[in-house]
Amino acid sequence: MATGQLFSRQTQALFYNYKQLPIQRMLDFDFLCGRETPSVAGIINPGSEGFQKLFFGQEEIAIPVHSSIEAACRAHPTADVFINFASFRSAAASSMSALKQPTIKVVAIIAEGVPESDTKQLIAYAQANNKVVIGPATVGGIQAGAFKIGDTAGTIDNIIHCKLYRPGSVGFVSKSGGMSNELYNTIARVTDGIYEGIAIGGDVFPGSTLSDHVLRFNNIPQVKMMVVLGELGGRDEYSLVEALKEGRVHKPVVAWVSGTCARLFKSEVQFGHAGAKSGGELESAQAKNQALREAGAVVPTSYEALEGAIKETFQKLVEEGKITPVSEVKTPQIPEDLNIAIKSGRVRAPTHIISTISDDRGDEPCYAGVPMSTIVEQGYGVGDVISLLWFKRSLPRYCTKFIEICIMLCADHGPCVSGAHNTIVTARAGKDLVSSLVSGLLTIGPRFGGAIDDAARYFKDAYDRGLTPYEFVEGMKKKGIRVPGIGHRIKSRDNRDKRVQLLQQYAHTYFPSIKYMEYAVQVETYTLSKANNLVLNVDGAIGSLFLDLLSGSGMFSKQEIDEIVEIGYLNGLFVLARSIGLIGHTFDQKRLKQPLYRHPWEDVLYTK
């Protein structure tokens, strides 16, 4: 491996398996360091394509999303780092695929638990092709002021505290990602900070070793000293011992191997990492520390003394003129995410939408304050749900039953009415359910099913003003307005609409007041004197009876009733009901595999 620097301020990465937080942390680090271009060139989400919005400072940017590793590498040939956030099940396969791409030089594998046999294959391929694997079970690595992998070094506050926004003089390598954060802090306190830090990962077979990175640091002119943090288990540290003995490392190395407390336990102890388990005396922390000390590394007597050893080594290099401590730089302010600032109470922001009918923020959704569990457990029906979501209150059962009856009676009126016809023609054209449904719904209006609100509006105005049926009908005639809710193409005095009769029977039985319906019947009596088909139709029946429901229930003020009629609540009943039938007609045509509809020419009057 050896060679030198892995990253620079121009390094860009491909991020596998989208994770918002680590990518955003990388971009925030870029902005903090003053990079001109984001370090994440592209995101790979198998099976997905498009763009993902993230922040680069205060500016929102769109990062391309690719469906495959090969496509991402073709699109971003300068991106040479592959950051793999795949699970342990797929990490090996995706990492191997990345290593086989000519543009990829470094692969970081975050997942723990990657099968050791798979890891060995990755290591062999990387060594044979002069590529670098960091991990598995790693948090990644960082080059101060230039580039970082994923969640390395944690939050922006920690990065600033550890002075990672600009390069120092120390090369650091550790098995532990968690302890890396601790050492970044320690090193920043007693030196001018790190130049590069790598966590090789805690698995038994890391893709690259402690000595690999120490030898690499040895070739980087900006790195003046190295700090190594090993741990009991395995023999990785002995390769560093050999390198020190052979004189291949020319810079001071301060080292400590954690796990000296293992001897206090009577039986063998497995520490956090898969590799942190002593397999004999040579793998103990004490043996490794002693071997490193004898090879020439600066090894303190305890972990507590490590900070002092680092400080002493650094100061000596400063005194010798080998290090000129770097000057501090002013870092830009990273904009805080709005949701975090709101939660902390530092800012307030206006909302964009107001909702009073439902709330999904708690343990379960609520309709008008009623939890979903209550709705199910107490046997609420569709009418009850409509009363909650439309009227924001629980109406009496006779009211919600009336709503359900209206829906049942208006669900369909055969294939020949305009809405059903449109839906059938659209379905037979091969269109999907939503398109077919909408084509039928778009016909609803004053001439088809949309007269319920108008019927309620005009009947209410006439009744409330005390107009006689004669005055009402003749007044509408003078204005050139048909009386909504009166008249039918098929039904007549001698062939009444059964739906109207059913609604009237229900109201007579259960409604406390039916003054508006009785007024509508009086209007019908007058209009029938003019023509046999000017009967009260289903729109008029529902419109007048809904007025009785609203006023008779005692749960609505006059202002609320006027608002309900004005907004169009009652037509909503017809839209909801007829959607059931239109969906049925769509399914019926699909099931029957009906071909494209063409209207017969003999049914068209061709004229000049």
The catalytic residue positions are 273
**Residue 432 CB-density burial (10 A; 0-12 exposed, 13-18 middle, 19+ buried):** exposed
Burial 556-595 (b: 16+ CB within 10 A, else e): beeeebbebbeeebbbebbbbbbbebbbebbeebeeeeee
- Helix axes 569-591 and 418-428, enclosed angle (nearest 10): 40
Outline where 296-381 has alpha helix (H). Answer: 306-319, 338-343, 372-377
The three-class DSSP label of residue 230 is strand
| Distance spanning both ends of the chain, measured CA to CA | 88
- CB half-sphere exposure, 228, CA atoms < 13 A: 33
Contact 479, 454 (CB under 8 A): no
Sheet of strand 50-56: strand arrangement: 50-56, 59-66, 40-44, 13-16, 81-84, 106-109, 132-134
Amino acid at 158: N
Place of tokens 């008008």: 368
H or E, element range at 44: strand 40-44
Rounded Cα gap, residues 337 and 48, in angstroms: 26
**Which residues neighbour 556 within 8 Å (Cβ) at sequence distance 6 or greater?**
391, 550, 564
Rounded Cα gap, residues 344 and 396, in angstroms: 44
Rounded Cα gap, residues 228 and 547, in angstroms: 82
- CB half-sphere exposure, 26, CA atoms < 13 A: 30
- Helix axes 569-591 and 558-567, enclosed angle (nearest 10): 40
- Helix axes 452-464 and 515-528, enclosed angle (nearest 10): 100
* The token pair that represents 21 in the structure block: 């937080």
Transcribe 90-119 into DSSP letters: THHHHHHHHHTSTT--EEEE--S---HHHH
